[in-house]
Structure 1
Amino acid sequence: MISTDAWVLYAGPETETARQPIPGELRRETFTFPDLDDDEVLVEPLYGSWEANLDHALSRNPVDICRQRREEKIVLGNGALVRVIERGRNVKSLGEGDVCMVMPFGKRDENGFAELVFAYDAPGTIGVMARRTKVHADNLVPLPSGSRHSLLRWTTYGRYFTAWDNWKVASACWRAQLPHADPEKHLVFGWGGGTTLAELALAKREGFRVAMTASNDARLREIAELGITPVDRRRFPNLAYDEKRYRDDPEYRTAYKASEHVLLETIAELSDGKGVSIFLDNLGGGLYRATMRAIGRTGIVSTVGWKTGMRLWNLRATECINRRLHVHTHAWRHGDSETIRDFQEATDWIGPEPTEVFDFDDVPKLADAYLHGRVETYFPIYRVNGT
C-alpha cells in the first residue's frame, strides 16, 4: 500500500431526490491506495489546474460523485503536470523524472472519447490533489523536450485540449452549411471561462470576427490582449432568465428585457445585424434564452460545459426553420492528445503565464474563491510539489 498527504472529499449524507444537495468540503489527511499495477505509474503532481468538475464534485451537483462511485472518500483533480517517480513493469514509454500532462480518461469508448472521467466519475481513480498518486501510463503525455513554455503555462492545457476538440466540431458544422462563406463577415461570440477564450483564439486564427464577455477589468484586459473584442458583461447584468419570475414579476421582467436589449444591440453592432454565427456557450441555464435570441440563421450553438445549468428547452420547429445546429462535446479524443500538444508548442496557442497560484495548503481557499467568483484569472493554478 502507498500512503500520501491529500485533500479528500467524503460522500455526503443520503438525501431524498427532491432535496437540495449538501455541499462537500475538502479535508486534509493521509490517503492510502494500492501498490502499482504493471501498467501504472507513480507520480508526484507539480502544479494542478482548478477545473469545473471540481466545483461540480464539491457542490454535489448534479450528483454526489462519491456515492455514484460507491466509495466513502475520493481524491479529486484531473488536470495537472506530474513527474514520474516509479513505473510498473510493463511501462516502457516513460522514464523516471519525465514531466507529463495527465489526460482525464477513466473509461473510453471505441472511438477514444471519454465515457468516465479519471478522478471524477471513474471508480477507483485517485486524483492529483495529493502529494503522490498513480495513473495509467497511457493517460500521461510528456511535455515537449526543451519546450519554450514554462511549466505554469503548460498547466493550463486542460482548457485548451477541450477547446481544440469543441472548436474543430463547431467550425466543421458551420462550414458544412456555408462552405463558401467568408469568416471575416461572421461573428463568433462566447461567454464562459478559459475554454471559451481558447476557442475564440482558434476562431480568430480562422479569420472570424471574435468577441467575448467578462465581468471584471482584469479579464477584459486579458481578452483584449489576445486580439478578441471584449464586451463588458456589467452592461447587461440581469440576463439570468427565470420563466416563472418573468411571467409573475413585472419589475424582474422589465430588468431582464432591458439587459437582453443591450446584449442584442451589442451583437447587432458586432455582426452587422446578422447575429452570432457560432455562439460558444459553456454556461447554459438562465443565459440560454439570451444565447438563442442572439444567434442568427444557419448559426451554431456549441457547448462543452454546463456551469450554470444542464436542462435546456428548444422549440424544434424554430431551430429547423432557421437551420441552427447544436454541438455538444465532452473533453477530446484520447488519440488526439499528442497532436494537440504539438499544435500548442508549434503555434504558441497556450495559456498565459498564470497570475494566481495557490499553495497546496490553500486549496480550500481556491475552492471557495472559484465558487464565489473571486478568481480573476481564467486559469487558476494550485501548487502541489512545484517550486
Structure 2
Amino acid sequence: MAGPNDGGPGGALRRDRFAFGALAEGEALVEPILGSWEANVDHALARSPIDVCSSRGEDAVVLGNLGVVRVLKVNAGSREVRVREGELCLLLPFGRLDRFGYAELAYAYDAPDTIGLLAERSKMDVRLLLPIPTDTRYSLPQWATYGRYFTAWDNWRKAYGCWRTQVPDDDPANHLVFGWGGGVAFAELMLAKRAGFRVAMTAGSDERLAFLREHGITPVDRRRFPDLSLPTRQQRADRDRHRRRRESVENFLGVVEELGDGHGVAIFVDNIGEPLYDVTLGALAREGVVTTCGWKAGMRLSHLRGAECISRHIHVNTHVWRIQDSPVIRDFQEAEGWMAPEGSDVIYDFDRVPELADDYANGRIGSYFPMYRVNPL
C-alpha cells in the first residue's frame, strides 16, 4: 500500500519492487502461499480508524498478516528454532507483545518495520511461524482461515467464562447465542453450539443463509430488517427513516424473543459496532454478555450505564489472542475438526488482489473466508 487512496480500496494498492536486508539472527526468508483477507487489511486501505503509513512513519507498507507461508531459509544463529526449511507455517500476527503475551501492535498493520504476505518473498521472526501439522487431515485453504478461528477461540473463552460467573449452573440449552454475520462470528457460534447453546446468526444472501442452515446455525435473514442500522449523519433529519428503523428494530427484536423463548440473547457476538450497538443491547438477556473482537463499522459506542448495571450485562472486548496459546488452538482445530468447512473459501490470484479489495469492501463476496494466492503450493 502506498500513496493516497484514489477511490476504492483496490486503488490504494500498488504493485512494486521493494528491498529488505539480509536475514538477521532468528529470522526466516519465506514464500507466502495463501493469505487470508481480513478486516484489518480493509481498514488499512481505507486509512481508518488509523492511517498505518503515518502511524508507522513509512511511505509504503506491505500488508497481509494472516496466512500460510513456506520457509525457504532460516538464520538460526545461536537461537533454538522450531521451524525447518521447506516447512509450511502459519504466520502469527504479533508485532509488539505486552507482558502477558497479548498483541499491542499487529504485524504488517501498525507495527513498524514488518513485512506482510502481499509479496512474493518476505522475511520475519521465526517466533511468529507456527508449523502446520505434517500429517494434517485438512487442506491448505482450510488452514489459511486460522486467523478468524484463533480469534474466535480466544473471544469465546472469555465471553463464556464471564457468562458462567453469573449463570453458574443452568443448562446452555436454555439459552441463545446470537451473532451479526461474519467469519469470526461463525467460528464462535460453532463453539457455542459445541457447548450446548442454541445458536443463530444474521446473513444477507441466500448463499450465506443456506451455509448457516447446513451447519446447524439458525439463519436470520438480514434483508427482513432493511433499516436496522442507525441513520447516517445525512439521514438524521429524515423522520420517515427513523420510523422505518423503529419498525425494523421491533421486528428484529421480535425474532430474537421467539428464538430466546422470551428471554433474549445470553451471549451476543457483535463485531459490527456503532450502527447496530443499541439493537445488540436491546436484544441482550438479563445477565447477558455482549462480546466483541472487532470494529467493522464504528468504534465509538455509548450506552446508559445504569441500565447496563441493573441488567447485569457484562461487556467483553478482546483483540487477537495470546501468542503462547497458538499451538494449543492449532492442535484443538486438528483434533476436533473445528475448521472452516471444505470448499467454503474463495481464492483470488495475486494479480486480482485489487479486485478482491473492492469486492470485500462492497460486500460482493459470498464466502466468509476470502483469500488470495501469492505463490503455488
User: Which TM-score bucket, shorter chain as reference?
Assistant: over 0.9
The AA in structure 1 aligned to 2:366 is: E
135-144 or 238-247: which moved more? Answer: 238-247
| Residue 87 (1) aligns with residue 74 (2) | yes
1:30 counterpart SS class? coil
Distance, in Å, in 1 between the alignment partners of 2:54 and 2:345 is 35
| Residue 101 (1) aligns with residue 90 (2) | yes
TM-aligned CA deviation for residue 58 of structure 1: 0.2
1:10 counterpart SS class? coil
Q: Which residue of structure 2 lines up, in the alignment, with residue 358 of structure 1? A: 348
| Residue 125 (1) aligns with residue 117 (2) | no
| Residue 179 (1) aligns with residue 171 (2) | no
Gaps of 5+ in 2: none
Q: Which residue of structure 2 lines up, in the alignment, with residue 30 of structure 1? A: 17
The AA in structure 1 aligned to 2:20 is: F
TM-aligned CA deviation for residue 314 of structure 1: 1.0
Distance, in Å, in 2 between the alignment partners of 1:276 and 1:22 is 35
From 10, 29, 44, give the equivalent of 2:2. Answer: 10
Distance, in Å, in 2 between the alignment partners of 1:138 and 1:316 is 42
| Residue 385 (1) aligns with residue 372 (2) | no
Q: Which residue of structure 2 lines up, in the alignment, with residue 4 of structure 1? A: none
The AA in structure 2 aligned to 1:74 is: V
Q: Which residue of structure 1 lines up, in the alignment, with residue 64 of structure 2? A: 77
Q: Judging changes above 3 Å, is the alpha-carbon distance between structure 1 residues 87 and 22 closer, same or farther for their aligned structure 2 residues?
A: closer
From 221, 226, 250, give the equivalent of 1:261. Answer: 250
1:33 counterpart SS class? coil
Aligned residues: percent identity?
53
The AA in structure 2 aligned to 1:376 is: G
1:29 counterpart SS class? coil
TM-aligned CA deviation for residue 214 of structure 1: 0.3
Q: What does 1:224-239 correspond to in 2, within 5 Å? A: 224-239=213-228
Root mean square deviation of aligned Cα: 1.7
2:355 counterpart SS class? helix
Distance, in Å, in 2 between the alignment partners of 1:339 and 1:96 is 23
TM-aligned CA deviation for residue 254 of structure 1: 1.2
Contact map agreement 1:108 1:116 (CA 8 A) in 2: yes
Q: What does 1:1-387 correspond to in 2, within 5 Å? A: 9-12=1-4, 25-90=12-77, 92-242=81-231, 248-353=237-342, 354-387=344-377
2:165 counterpart SS class? helix
Gaps of 5+ in 1: 1-8, 14-20
Contact map agreement 2:265 2:284 (CA 8 A) in 1: yes
Q: How many residues align?
A: 373
When normalised by structure 2's length, the TM-score is 0.96
Distance, in Å, in 1 between the alignment partners of 2:287 and 2:76 is 54
TM-aligned CA deviation for residue 89 of structure 1: 2.9
Contact map agreement 2:9 2:354 (CA 8 A) in 1: no
TM-aligned CA deviation for residue 92 of structure 1: 3.0
